[in-house]
Amino acid sequence: MLHSLAVAAIQLVLAPVYDGLERKVRAAIHTRIGPPVLQTWYDIVKLFSKEVVVPVGGSWYALVAVLEMLTLVTASVLLVHVSSAGLNRAALFEASVFIVLTGIATTLAVVRAVSQSNVFSVLGGFREFSLMISAEPFLATSLLLLISGAEAPASKAIAALVLVIAAYVISGRVPYDIAEAEPELASGVNIELAGPLLGVATLSVVLKKFISATLTALALTSWSSLVGIASLAAAALLTPIIWIAHTVVGTLLGRSRVDLAVRFLYTTLFILSSMLLVSYGLGV
Amino acid sequence: MSKGVEALVEMVGKLGGAVEDVRKSEIYIRVPREAVRAVAKLLYDSGAYLKTCAGVDERGTSGFYSIYYIFGLDSHGVDAVLKVLVPEHDPLIPSILPEVPAADWCELEIRDLLGIELSGRLTKRLVLPEDWPDGVYPLRKEFRYDEKPPRVVREELPEEVGIPVGPYHPALHEPEYFELYVEGEKVVDVVYRGFHVHRGIEKLAESPRFTYKQIPFLAERICGICGFVHSTCYVMAVEKAAGIGVPERAEFIRSIVLEVERLHSHLLWLGVAAHLLGYDAGFMHTWRIRERVMVLAEYLTGSRKTYGINVVGGVRKDLNVDKIDKTMKTVAQVREEFKKLADAALSVPQIKARAVGTGVLTKSEARALSVVGPVARASGLYRDIRKDYPYLAYRKVSFRVPLYTEGDNLARLLVRVEEVFESIEIIKQLIDMLPGGGIVSEEYEIPPGRRAVAAVEAPRGEDVHFVITGLGRPYRWRVRAPTYQNIPALRAMLRGTSLADAPLTIASIDPCFSCTDRVLVVDVRSSRRSFIKLVRGG
Distance CA B212, CA A169 (A): 61
Whether B348 and A184 lie within 8 Å, measured CB to CB: no
pLDDT tens track for B331-345: 999 999 999 999 999
Given the candidates 1.10.645.10, 1.10.260.40, 3.40.50.360, 2.160.10.10, the CATH classification of the domain at B201-480 is: 1.10.645.10
pLDDT tens track for B229-255: 999 999 999 999 999 999 999 999 999
Q: Give the number of A-B residue pairs with CB atoms closer than 8 Å.
A: 96
User: Residue B107 — φ and ψ, nearest 5°?
Assistant: -65, -45
* Helix residue ranges, H only, B178-320: 201-205, 215-219, 227-242, 248-276, 280-301
Whether A184 and B499 lie within 8 Å, measured CB to CB: yes
Distance CA B524, CA B439 (A): 60
Fold of B3-119: Beta Polymerase; domain 2 (3.30.460)
Distances (CA, A) of A61 to A56, A244, B254: 9, 33, 59
pLDDT of A253 over the 90 cut: yes
Helix axes A258-282, A153-170, angle to 10 degrees: 160
User: Residue B234 — φ and ψ, nearest 5°?
Assistant: -65, -50
Burial of A70 (0-12, 13-18, 19+ CB in 10 A): middle
B456 residue type, one letter: V
Q: Vertex A250, ends A246 and A251: CA angle to 5°? A: 115
Worst-scoring range by mean pLDDT, A195-204, B160-169, B471-480? B160-169
pLDDT of B170 over the 50 cut: no
Beta bridge partners of B498: B186
Q: Is A225 left (phi over 0), alpha (psi -120 to 50) or beta?
A: alpha
pLDDT tens track for A47-81: 999 998 887 767 788 889 999 999 999 999 999 88
Question: Is A260 in CB contact (< 8 Å) with chain B?
Answer: yes
- Please report, to the nearest 10 degrees, the dihedral formed by the alpha carbons of residues B261, B262, B266, B267 taken in order: -40
Distance CA B516, CA B197 (A): 10
pLDDT tens track for B122-131: 999 888 888 8
Q: Which residues of B touch A248 (CB under 8 A)?
A: none
Please list, residue by residue across B295-327, b when 16 or more beta carbons sit within 10 angstroms of its beta carbon and e when fewer do: ebbeebbeeebebbbbbbbbbbbebeeebeebb
Residue among B205, B28, B193 at smallest CA distance from B105: B193
Residue among B210, B228, B393 at smallest CA distance from B308: B228
Residue A119, min C-alpha distance to chain B (Å): 7
Picking from A118, A177, A255, the nearest residue to B165 by CB comes out as A118
Burial of A51 (0-12, 13-18, 19+ CB in 10 A): exposed
- Percentage of residues in chain A with pLDDT exceeding 70? 97
pLDDT score at B168: 42
Q: What is the pTM of this model?
A: 0.90
Q: Which residue has the higher pLDDT, B1 or A170?
A: A170
Residue B30, min C-alpha distance to chain A (Å): 49
Mean pLDDT of chain B: 89
Q: Which residue has the higher pLDDT, A155 or B427?
A: B427
pLDDT tens track for A10-33: 999 999 999 999 999 999 999 999
What string of DSSP letters covers B412-447? HHHHHHHHHHHHHHHHHHHHHH---S-SB-------
Helix-, strand-, coil-residue percentages of chain B, each rounded to 5? 40, 20, 40
Residue B185, min C-alpha distance to chain A (Å): 8
The DSSP element (H or E) to which B323 belongs, if any, is: helix B321-346
Question: Is A33 in CB contact (< 8 Å) with chain B?
Answer: no
Average pLDDT over residues B285-313: 97
Distance CA B168, CA B536 (A): 11
* Helix residue ranges, H only, chain A: 2-29, 39-48, 60-84, 92-114, 119-147, 153-170, 182-185, 195-221, 228-251, 258-282
Question: Is A131 in CB contact (< 8 Å) with chain B?
Answer: no
Q: Where along chain B do its domains lie?
A: 3-119, 176-197+486-535, 201-480
Give the ipTM. Answer: 0.90
Mutation test of the interface with chain B: which of A257, A258, A265, choosing the one with the most B Cβ atoms within 10 A?
Answer: A257
Give Cα B252 to chain centroid, integer Å.
23
pLDDT tens track for B26-53: 999 999 999 999 999 999 999 999 999 9
